[in-house]
Structure 1
Amino acid sequence: MPNINRRALLGGAAATTVLAATAAAAQSDMIKPAGSVKGKTILITGCSSGFGRLMAEDYARKGAKVFATMRNLPRPAASELSALASDEGLDITVLEIDVTDDAQVAAGVAEAERLAGGALDVLVNNAGISTAGPIEIQDMAATQLLFDTNVFGPQRMARAALPAMRAAKSGQIFNVSSQLGRVMLPGFGQYSPTKFALEAMSEQMAYELAPHNIEVTIIQPGGYPTEIWANSNALTQGLLDRAEDKHLNGYEAMVTRLRSASNNGGSTDPMDVPNAIAEIIAMPAGTRPLRRPVHPGSKPQVAINEVSAKAQIGWLGESPYGPMIKAVHNV
């Protein structure tokens, strides 16, 4: 099977940013492949393309046992990945998981654990979607879909995987957030609210799981050329088409721009995200970061990350919660 150009793998991952205009024109500080994932059992959501597809291929080529999950099987993306695994002798199992479906999540994780012979080593919550537009025009259908996918999806996956991880007293969870999980971009719909929620949920989970020797890392990508842009544009056009004039009329300039949207995430290399996650997987337990910004250009969330960590340590560091807080922040 021919190799697929990774820049053409447009993915339903959770990577979006402060629009393509802020993406670096050239990748000057690309994250280099580092660290070993050999022998790890890794389940990744949203593997039909984008970050998820890249992770599945890369980690399997490096010796991991990969469970590549996606929704709506059978589909060409699943057949292509299975064929690639067969051609290259890669340990990739494609499983059907729609992260909005309780039964599929439970069954998919159980099957992965059965095939792995126990708890997963790593869970990567990568699946995500986006719509744009002012908050006022975000109807409840759009709002519920985004929260169900971007927030409740990772929660479903974690709840399914954690009992076995806790029993094994080990494990790692990566939740793919965004720059927009820490900074706000007017007109980006419910995307930032869902990613802010994911950030908070992930941090709380990190504290609660520290005594169980399970680590949580939040990945904060900037703009990358994945299919979330095309998918977002399509969802946004549908939202605009069904929106009532009484909501649209207050945002004429913004709506005009949205109707002609052609964002694609810039020219950065999507392999930054798989490389960053692999690097963290390989780090010694107890040294892994709570948050990892990933982008060669502007990273406006860094200052917020630093202030947030200081606030948590200052507020709770000497309280009964102190050991959890300090363990997560490597103090």
Structure 2
Amino acid sequence: MPTMNRRHLLAGTAAVAALSATPATMPVFAQTAPTDLSGKSILITGCSSGFGRLGALHFARAGARVIATMRNLPRPEADSLAAEAEAEDLDLRIVEIDVLSDEQVSAGVAEAERIAGGAIDILVNNAGIGITGPIELQDMEATQLMFDTNVLGYQRMARAVLPGMRAAGSGQIFAISSQLGRVIVPGAGQYSPTKFAVEAMFEQLAYELVPHNIDVTIIQPGGYPTRIWVNRNRYTAALRERTPEERRAAYPALVERMGTEDGSGRTADPADVPRAIAEIIAMPAGTRPLRRAVHPGPKPQEAINRVSAETQVAWLGDSGFGPWIRAVHH
């Protein structure tokens, strides 16, 4: 049987597989050999630590030309990443981008395209923050920072790379979401709301980019031991300090945990995420999954992913948007 992809679907040469047999997400699986990413240009945000740093090195070791970005340059994290890349003779450049800044996003993407020699092949939207605590305690300072970073930052980056990708007639965008973009844990602050927004925004984008042959994949990691815990505790402790006692007293159990979680009990390998991304990059265009759950442990979001995909196809699959919807949920 020939492989189905969105070009076949749009041409009417293949039928949609039953979604119950082909869920919208695919399981994490071990790589038996390094994925070859030679000839690919990959732009990643949030490379000072965590998935971003690991991804930058992983993709460059696989042969890609990597443009790793972070804010507040110069900084020690950039120096150490550059030194590691130089020691291994990797094709990795570091560019300053603060995703909160329209100007830095525009200038940084232009520089990345200059380094790449044209349109960026792959954007990995990774920069993000977390601030925990009850929703009532999330003041406007915390709420605006969370949405501006985790949602609007992704939108700024996507808008900056898309003209080049559309002109090239190809491309790929990854959005790092979370299990908490589909399921909710009390006390997680605005993290789930921002990741729910990412899930919706990039699913819509996936449909709209079908005619341009640009793929979109939403990565849904579980909890990993990265520096996000350190940064989250710093932001959360500051929020706790400036929250009036009357509000804190209403949620004693949740407030007690604010700014104290360190993730030390988590042992999953954060390199799972860049490995999964590399595997998806290597898939033929038009066959890549809309969502990929990444974690060796439970993945409660997969049931929601499956029902969501089935619902979209049932609702709009036979409408004027049908070819786009069916192409994404191939």
Task: Name the aligned partner's letter for residue 130 of structure 1.
Answer: G
Name 2:77's counterpart in structure 1: 77
Mapping for residues 16-27 of structure 1, pairs under 5 Å: none
Secondary structure of the 1:123 match is strand
Task: Name the aligned partner's letter for residue 146 of structure 2.
Answer: L
Name 2:91's counterpart in structure 1: 91
CA distance in 1, matches of 2:280, 2:259: 39
CA distance in 2, matches of 1:187, 1:31: 33
How many angstroms does 1:49 deviate by? 1.1
Name 1:323's counterpart in structure 2: 323
Name 1:63's counterpart in structure 2: 63
Task: Name the aligned partner's letter for residue 160 of structure 2.
Answer: A
CA distance in 2, matches of 1:305, 1:34: 28
Residue 126 of structure 2 is aligned to residue 126 of structure 1: yes
Decide whether the 8 Å contact of 2:49 with 2:77 is kept in 1.
Answer: yes
Decide whether the 8 Å contact of 2:224 with 2:263 is kept in 1.
Answer: no
How many angstroms does 1:116 deviate by? 1.1
Name 1:174's counterpart in structure 2: 174
How many angstroms does 1:265 deviate by? 6.1
Compared with structure 1, are the counterparts of its residues 257 and 72 closer, same or farther at alpha carbon in structure 2 (3 Å cutoff)? Answer: same
Compared with structure 1, are the counterparts of its residues 116 and 223 closer, same or farther at alpha carbon in structure 2 (3 Å cutoff)? Answer: same
Name 1:4's counterpart in structure 2: none
CA distance in 1, matches of 2:272, 2:259: 30
Mapping for residues 239-278 of structure 1, pairs under 5 Å: 239-258=239-258, 260-264=260-264, 266-278=266-278
- Give the structure-2-normalised TM-score: 0.89
Decide whether the 8 Å contact of 2:221 with 2:273 is kept in 1.
Answer: yes
Task: Name the aligned partner's letter for residue 53 of structure 2.
Answer: R
Aligned-residue sequence identity (percent) comes to 66
Secondary structure of the 1:35 match is coil
Secondary structure of the 1:250 match is coil
Secondary structure of the 1:93 match is strand
CA distance in 1, matches of 2:98, 2:78: 13
Task: Name the aligned partner's letter for residue 283 of structure 2.
Answer: M
Name 1:309's counterpart in structure 2: 309
How many angstroms does 1:246 deviate by? 2.3
Q: Comparing 316-325 with 76-85, which one deviates more in the overlay?
A: 76-85
Compared with structure 1, are the counterparts of its residues 98 and 276 closer, same or farther at alpha carbon in structure 2 (3 Å cutoff)? Answer: same
CA distance in 1, matches of 2:40, 2:314: 36
Name 1:146's counterpart in structure 2: 146
Decide whether the 8 Å contact of 2:34 with 2:62 is kept in 1.
Answer: no
CA distance in 2, matches of 1:110, 1:222: 33
Name 2:21's counterpart in structure 1: none
CA distance in 2, matches of 1:55, 1:265: 23
Task: Name the aligned partner's letter for residue 38 of structure 1.
Answer: S
How many angstroms does 1:264 deviate by? 3.6
CA distance in 1, matches of 2:120, 2:29: 29
Let me know the Cα RMSD of the aligned residues.
1.2
CA distance in 1, matches of 2:282, 2:260: 43
Decide whether the 8 Å contact of 1:30 with 1:272 is kept in 2.
Answer: no
CA distance in 1, matches of 2:129, 2:262: 17
Decide whether the 8 Å contact of 1:42 with 1:120 is kept in 2.
Answer: yes
How many angstroms does 1:208 deviate by? 0.3
Decide whether the 8 Å contact of 1:59 with 1:66 is kept in 2.
Answer: yes
Decide whether the 8 Å contact of 2:133 with 2:189 is kept in 1.
Answer: yes
Compared with structure 1, are the counterparts of its residues 57 and 262 closer, same or farther at alpha carbon in structure 2 (3 Å cutoff)? Answer: closer
Residues 217-249 of structure 1: per-residue CA shift (max 9 Å, x gap): 000000111000111111111100000122112
Decide whether the 8 Å contact of 1:226 with 1:264 is kept in 2.
Answer: no
Task: Name the aligned partner's letter for residue 159 of structure 1.
Answer: R
Name 1:105's counterpart in structure 2: 105
The alignment covers a number of residue pairs equal to: 302
Compared with structure 1, are the counterparts of its residues 35 and 262 closer, same or farther at alpha carbon in structure 2 (3 Å cutoff)? Answer: closer
Q: Comparing 29-38 with 204-213, which one deviates more in the overlay?
A: 29-38
- Give the structure-1-normalised TM-score: 0.89
Name 2:5's counterpart in structure 1: none
Task: Name the aligned partner's letter for residue 280 of structure 1.
Answer: I
Residues 27-47 of structure 1: per-residue CA shift (max 9 Å, x gap): xx7642653211100000000
CA distance in 2, matches of 1:239, 1:111: 36
Task: Name the aligned partner's letter for residue 316 of structure 1.
Answer: L
CA distance in 1, matches of 2:160, 2:252: 44
Name 1:3's counterpart in structure 2: none
CA distance in 2, matches of 1:302, 1:246: 39
Name 2:232's counterpart in structure 1: 232
CA distance in 2, matches of 1:217, 1:43: 15
CA distance in 1, matches of 2:83, 2:192: 36
How many angstroms does 1:212 deviate by? 0.2
CA distance in 1, matches of 2:323, 2:257: 49
How many angstroms does 1:257 deviate by? 2.6
CA distance in 2, matches of 1:210, 1:131: 35
